[in-house]
Amino acid sequence: MKTIKITFWVSTIIIAVLNISGLFFLNSPQALEGSKHLGLPNWFNTELTIGKFIGGLILIIPFIPQRIKEWAYVALGIDILSAMIALVSVDGAKPMSFAPLIAFAILLISYISYHKINSGQKI
């Protein structure tokens, strides 16, 4: 069980840092150029960043109800897969277009270990 908890916290902290840190780069030239490159309006960049910030916080705050955490995992998963779809649609099937799948794999590890911890399953 200790290994599962370590796996959960390491993967969850990685996902949280990736999502929470985006708020600090909200209006950076790189973020604005990335949104422009994908054909997204600036307001969407702001909305998405705030949503990812909230989702990252929900995952790392221990007393948040399980159902809300479930929805945070779903929302972040949709965000990551949508990012990959957008990159493939705009840039084609280049290797870097599939980079979001790394974050998605880490999110899945966090999600699976979260459920193993909450079900009390012995591993």
Beta carbons of 58 and 72 less than 8 angstroms apart: yes
User: What is the residue-wise DSSP string for 88-104?
Assistant: HHHH-S-GGGGTHHHHH
Q: Quote the pLDDT of residue 120.
A: 65
Cα–Cα distance, 18 to 42 (Å, whole number): 20
- Give the other-Cβ count within 10 Å of 92's Cβ: 8
The long-range contacts involving 113-122, CB below 8 angstroms and separated by at least 24 positions, are 113/4, 113/5, 113/7, 113/8, 113/11, 114/8, 114/12, 114/69, 114/73, 116/4, 116/8, 117/1, 117/4, 117/5, 117/8, 118/66, 122/1
Tens of pLDDT along 1-18?
Answer: 899 999 999 999 999 999
> What does each of the 123 residues of the chain score in pLDDT, given as a tens digit?
899 999 999 999 999 999 999 899 888 999 889 889 999 998 999 999 999 999 999 999 999 999 999 999 999 999 999 999 999 999 999 988 999 999 999 999 999 999 999 886 554
Q: Quote the pLDDT of residue 123.
A: 44
Residue ranges of domains in the chain: 2-119
Q: Quote the pLDDT of residue 26.
A: 87
